[in-house]
């Protein structure tokens, strides 16, 4: 999966979450629903020291977006992607938009999946609400937002994680922050059994030489001198290849044990 797909999967899994009436049952999507702004998103980020002060119990649309990044990519990378310093003020929409601006990653047009969309009521001087762009299709913007509801327009402080949509020219869209996705690697979509076998073989080849640790020197010398371990062919310099760091099969194990028992005349 790409970084964007991973981010959207994290956000999408939270759709339907309701804020809580008290600081209780925060991990349950619908239990203890209320209007007091308590969420697992703020709790988790508070524990990590993400913001300048504790935020659980406060409006949480931007906190939800930050949580999705941290949850998906880890604390350090998630914060860097959105341009936020630890202990900063990114729990507020205006401040988060400013962090993107400081990175040169804030734009007014051309939204893409994974962008953080900001909504405004004063032509962009301040930002009142935010979410994550899920897709753009035929002039319409589709989002996943925290602390909203299913209403048609922008709904700040609505108490729920929802999917929503707007025309891309909607007057209340103040702009988009584009996270730095160059900081994350795409997951390998081509991995299958044959690809795994190839990589496994390549790893084994790196181990099949005479690299070894000093602690085993006496044991290695004893087993090779007594002929109990005979190696697997020759290295380019003609030295017997004992493949000290390679894996041991059951077949190899019983062969060595058999030679030991022969030396001890126990067969």
Residue 202 domain flag: yes
- CB–CB of 97/118 below 8 Å? yes
- What distance separates the 2 farthest-apart alpha carbons in the chain? 93
Co-location of 143 and 198 in the same domain: no
How many distinct structural domains can be found in the chain?
Answer: 2
Same domain, 19 and 76: yes
User: In angstroms, rounded to a whole number, what is the distance separating the alpha carbons of residues 52 and 217?
Assistant: 55
248: domain range? 193-263
Angstrom distance (rounded) from CA 150 to CA 219: 71
Residues 68-80 have pLDDT tens digits of 999 999 999 999 9
Q: Distance of alpha carbon 100 from its chain centroid, rounded?
A: 20
| 136 and 27 within one domain | yes
Same domain, 116 and 248: no
Residue that terminates a domain, selected from 154, 183, 212: 183
Q: Which two tokens stand for residue 217?
A: 């020197």
- Whether residues 38 and 126 fall in one domain: yes
* Percentage with pLDDT > 90 across the chain: 68
CB neighbourhood size of 10 (10 A): 18
The pTM score is 0.71
Residue 23 lies inside a defined structural domain of this protein? yes
Q: What is the spatial distance between Cα 49 and Cα 138, in angstroms, rounded to a whole number?
A: 41
pLDDT digits (tens, 9 = 90+) for 99-108: 999 999 999 9
Q: Is residue 188 part of a domain?
A: no
Is residue 258 one of the residues assigned to a domain? yes
Q: Is residue 249's pLDDT more than 90?
A: no
Tokens (6 digits) for 168:
């891309």
Contact 148, 155 (CB under 8 A): yes
> How many residues are there in the chain?
267
Answer yes or no: do 224 and 257 share one domain: yes
């Amino acid at each position: 999966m790409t970084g964007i797909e991973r981010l959207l999967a994290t956000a999408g899994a939270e759709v339907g979450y309701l804020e809580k009436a008290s600081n209780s049952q925060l991990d349950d999507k619908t239990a203890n629903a209320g209007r007091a702004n308590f969420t697992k998103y703020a709790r988790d980020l508070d524990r990590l020291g993400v913001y300048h002060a504790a935020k659980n119990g406060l409006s949480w649309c931007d906190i939800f977006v930050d949580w999705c990044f941290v949850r998906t990519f880890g604390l350090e990378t998630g914060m860097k992607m959105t341009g936020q310093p630890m202990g900063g003020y990114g729990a507020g929409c205006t401040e988060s938009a400013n962090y993107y601006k400081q990175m040169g990653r804030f734009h007014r047009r051309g939204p893409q999946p994974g962008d953080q969309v900001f909504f405004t009521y004063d032509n962009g001087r301040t930002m009142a609400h935010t979410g994550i762009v899920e897709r753009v299709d035929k002039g319409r913007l589709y989002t996943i937002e925290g602390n909203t509801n299913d209403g048609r327009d922008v709904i700040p402080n609505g108490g729920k994680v929802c999917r929503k949509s707007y025309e891309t020219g909607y007057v209340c869209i103040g702009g988009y922050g584009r996270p730095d996705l160059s900081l994350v690697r795409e997951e390998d979509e081509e991995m299958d059994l044959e690809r795994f076998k190839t990589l496994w073989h390549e790893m084994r080849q790196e181990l099949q030489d005479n690299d070894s640790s000093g602690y085993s020197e006496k044991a290695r010398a004893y087993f090779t001198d007594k002929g109990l371990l005979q190696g697997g062919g020759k290295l380019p310099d003609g030295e017997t290849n004992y493949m000290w760091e390679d894996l041991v099969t059951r077949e190899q194990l019983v062969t060595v044990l058999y030679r030991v028992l022969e030396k001890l005349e126990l067969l």
